Amino acid sequence: MMKNAILELTKIVQGVALIDSPADQVKKIVSSISQTIGADVCSLYRLNDAKDMVLLASHGLASDKNITIPAGKGLVGVVAQSRHSLNIADAANHPDYFYVEETQEEAFSSFCGVPLVKQGRVIGVLVVQSRSAEQLSAESEAFLVTLASQLALIVGDIPLVTILDDSINHRVIGVRGAPGIGIGVAKFCDAGSLSRASDEGCNDPEAVIIEWRNLLIKVQAEIGAEKSALGTQLSESVSGIFDAYQLLLSDQSLIDRVEGEIRAGHGLAYSLKISIQYFCDLFRAMDDPYLKARYEDIQHLGNKLFNVWSGAKVNAAPAVPITEPVVLVGAQVSVSDIASIPAKYLAGVVCYEGARLSHTAVLSNAIGIPAVMGVGTLKKLHANDQLVVDGNEGQIIQRPSEAVVAEFRRLIVKEKSLSLQLKELRDLPAMTTDGQTVRLLTNTGLLADITPGLKSGAEGIGLYRTEIPFMVRESFPTEDEQVQVYRKVFAAYPGRPVYMRTLDIGGDKQLPYFPITGEENPALGWRGIRFSLDNVQLLMTQVRAMIRAADGKDNLHVLLPMVCSTDEVTLFSVLLDDACAQLISEGMEVSRPKMGVMIEVPAAISMLPFWQDKIDFISIGSNDLSQYLLAMDRNNARVSKRYDHVHPAVIHEIFRIVQSASTVGLPVSVCGEMAADPVAVILLIGMGVRSLSLSSAKLPKIKWMIRALSVDQARRVLSKALTYDDVERIRQLGNKTLISIGLEELAH
């Protein structure tokens, strides 16, 4: 009789998850199952690219190496094709029995196989066998079926080569941080972390507060010196990062919070730890990936303050001069870590933590260094181990073989050639081969993001997120404080369009001093323009700050989020007129900004004809609109692979938006991930979209693609795509077009 099934299931899954090596994981799986259900044999098979079943590991068979069952053959093939378990007492007499001599499985009579299924696809088969000619008990079969669904999640993403031999070419999947490929030896970044600070108490708060203020002055000076020391190597690219640090160091809410903790009796380091953690938690709680990633900016600065306070020599010059390419590896990698490596030897960055929009990813993008984030702790990695950093695919390869290194070096040469080609396009228009120009703007929300956009050839800012000044304070920012931030944005893009989105809080983006509670579904609740209009005094302050920051120029465009009703548009228009009138009466030079709406709520699509005389433009927020149309969260791992913004329903609705806007004479722009997806951009150009807003890192390749494409080609692709009813056919069509115009590098 099997022990408690749930307990045993939990023990196996947890035990396997704690093992680092994929090869050891599969061995643990088969041995644990054999022991739990008392089977003589347990074997785990995985589907390969040829649709054959490869034996990954076996407990009980004579051999567990180099055994492959041809596609559709044997009882394993029956289980895979039927997608159903098979439980029989006499395997040898089954008509589909397929004997593999090397296994010596004739000694075992019974067979019970269950499929491993991931996202609807059979990826393997789990088999148990016994010498006695009797079926496996119903209880044990049910246990195997349940366990198989869990194991599919564990082994489904691990490449076969990694499982069969992880002594070389050990592949670890992470998150794409910055594009490119780098090869070098691992160098660990082990800077002191503020999280280690303990509370030593405080007997003289006023003396510690003086120490704190002196620390601020010292760190400000060090950051200035680091920026200067970078010289021509990185200063132009990353100066925004240093400026952001200086702004945070002078932020009164941070200063006051630390001093408040000191007065409460805590030591300086612990007060700093509590305060930094407060702001980090604020951002980490958000669902918006861009805003969520901003916690790293604060965390990096906290570590910097702690290391200067403790006197840690975390950025001292290495004892041995660096003479070969290195890959920086650590939980986080800071500006100072990067600056400590000569530019010609910095091959890549790997972070255990972080995401696509994290501080280190933004920095790596700015300086053109490949980066992979969120790989988890690499316990089997040692200093000076060779690493391949593949930022294009979001993976690293430990101890790569000579053949693998040679292949990646070939890709590096190819990428460098393409990079030079893209650099030459920076100041050229994104013009199709038949003379249609597409305006390419960039998305941003931090001053540190501005320089990469300019270097990529952005013609302006298509989406400026204004939430951050509101989130890093303990009260609503004043009008003057907002003006200071916004003016720097306009100064970076003089005479170019800047689309500023009004405050978009609520849902996942909460203000610590104005919490929104009691909502069962915050995503559909008091957020965006709904919140702002209900707090009109805050909206008026923000709009006045935007207009003042524009200094009478006509390049400000105000963008309203989450709009779905005419009342919202009308109320804001009246407020905008009032703000302009107020500032004129105060003697300021004012140009009434153009106002537009984000089309991200499906209800707004049908309202466009009613708004033709009320707004000046629209911007399609492709991320939220796709999620609302598909009722699917792209950040939910269980459904994220089903989410695709070229889903037929999304394509048809966006085409309807573009046609409707064209009929009423409203300019259209598209922002979000669609604007950076080559296949989606082909469809958008075919629809008539002539303005895109995307990340600075993706902009050069999209420009390259546009300059190789004709509008006529795009229209033909769109015409076919509108007749298709599944995503895969649309993507295949788009990729075929990319290959036909010589851009196979962009086809996936």
Q: State how far the Cα of 537 lies from the Cα of 118, in Å rounded to an integer.
A: 51
The beta strand positions in 318-425, using DSSP E, are 326-330, 346-351, 371-373, 386-390, 395-398
- Number of Cβ within 10 Å of residue 541's Cβ equals 20
Give the mean pLDDT of 281-290: 68
- Least confident span in 148-162, 294-308, 634-648: 148-162
Alpha helices by DSSP H, listed for 473-601, are 479-492, 529-534, 536-550, 566-585
Give the mean pLDDT of 148-167: 67
Give the mean pLDDT of 295-318: 69
The sign of the torsion formed by the CA atoms of 571, 573, 575, 577 equals negative
What is the pLDDT at residue 20? 62
Q: What is the pLDDT of residues 586-599, one digit of tens each?
A: 999 999 999 999 99
The answer to whether residue 314 scores a pLDDT higher than 50 is no
* DSSP class of 391: T
Q: What is the pLDDT of residues 90-110, one digit of tens each?
A: 999 999 998 887 788 888 999
* 112 assigned to active site: no
Q: Are 598 and 562 in contact (CB under 8 A)?
A: yes
**pTM given for the model:** 0.64
The answer to whether residue 470 scores a pLDDT higher than 80 is no
With 0-12 / 13-18 / 19 or more C-beta atoms within 10 angstroms meaning exposed / middle / buried, residue 512 is: middle
What is the pLDDT at residue 657? 97
What is the pLDDT at residue 513? 52
* Residue extents of the structural domains in the chain: 5-165, 167-191+315-424, 192-314, 427-746
The pLDDT mean for the chain works out to: 84
**Choice among 300, 359, 557, 645 that is catalytic:** 359
Residue type, 723: T
Domain 5-165, classified CATH 3.30.450.40, yes or no: yes
Both tokens of 41, joined, read: 């044999």
What is the pLDDT at residue 399? 86
- Architecture of the CATH domain 167-191+315-424: 3-Layer(bba) Sandwich (3.50)
Q: Residue 179 — very low, low, confident or very high, per pLDDT cuts 50/70/90?
A: confident
In the CATH hierarchy, which fold is given to the domain comprising 192-314? Enzyme I; Chain A, domain 2 (1.10.274)
Q: Which of 485, 574, 56, 63 is nearest to 240 (CA)?
A: 485
Both tokens of 278, joined, read: 């407060």
Q: What is the pLDDT of residues 485-498, one digit of tens each?
A: 899 899 989 999 99
The answer to whether residue 531 scores a pLDDT higher than 50 is yes
Q: State how far the Cα of 113 lies from the Cα of 90, in Å rounded to an integer.
A: 13
Instruction: For residue 46, report the phi and psi dihedrals to the nearest 5 degrees.
Output: -130, 140
Residue 220: partners with Cβ closer than 8 Å, 6 or more residues away: 246, 249, 250
**Choice among 42, 189, 564, 671 that is catalytic:** 671
Q: State how far the Cα of 147 lies from the Cα of 163, in Å rounded to an integer.
A: 19
Both tokens of 627, joined, read: 């999620």
- Per DSSP, the residues of 631-694 read T--TT-TTTTTT--TT-HHHHHHHHHHHHHHHHHT--EEEESGGGG-HHHHHHHHHHT--EEEE
Give the mean pLDDT of 604-627: 94
Task: Supply angle C-alpha 234, 236, 240, rounded to 5.
Answer: 100
More confident: 268 or 291: 268
The answer to whether residue 121 scores a pLDDT higher than 90 is no
More confident: 12 or 43: 43
Domain 427-746, classified CATH 3.20.20.60, yes or no: yes
Q: Residue 316 — very low, low, confident or very high, per pLDDT cuts 50/70/90?
A: very low
Q: Are 430 and 681 in contact (CB under 8 A)?
A: no
What is the pLDDT at residue 194? 79
The sign of the torsion formed by the CA atoms of 402, 406, 412, 413 equals positive
Give the mean pLDDT of 254-271: 90
Q: Which run of H or E residues covers position 184?
A: strand 181-188
Q: Residue 294 — very low, low, confident or very high, per pLDDT cuts 50/70/90?
A: low
Q: Residue 417 — very low, low, confident or very high, per pLDDT cuts 50/70/90?
A: confident
Give the mean pLDDT of 685-709: 93
* 557 assigned to active site: no
Q: State how far the Cα of 228 lies from the Cα of 222, in Å rounded to an integer.
A: 10
More confident: 692 or 62: 692
Q: What is the pLDDT of residues 16-65, one digit of tens each?
A: 766 666 677 788 888 888 888 888 999 999 988 788 888 888 888 876 55
Q: Are 129 and 39 in contact (CB under 8 A)?
A: yes
Whole-number percent of the chain with pLDDT over 70: 83
Task: Please give the biggest Cα pair distance in the chain.
Answer: 96
Q: Characterize the bridge pairing of strands 498-501 and 461-465.
A: parallel
Bridge partner list, 596? 559, 617
What is the pLDDT at residue 159? 58
What is the pLDDT at residue 233? 45
| Contacts by residues 552-555 (CB-CB < 8 Å, ≥ 24 positions apart) | 552/588, 552/589, 552/590, 552/591, 553/490, 553/495, 553/591, 554/591, 554/593, 555/460, 555/490, 555/493, 555/495, 555/496, 555/497, 555/498
What is the pLDDT at residue 182? 94
Both tokens of 66, joined, read: 């180099």
Both tokens of 677, joined, read: 């997806």
Q: Residue 313 — very low, low, confident or very high, per pLDDT cuts 50/70/90?
A: very low
Q: Are 348 and 184 in contact (CB under 8 A)?
A: yes
Q: State how far the Cα of 591 lies from the Cα of 605, in Å rounded to an integer.
A: 29
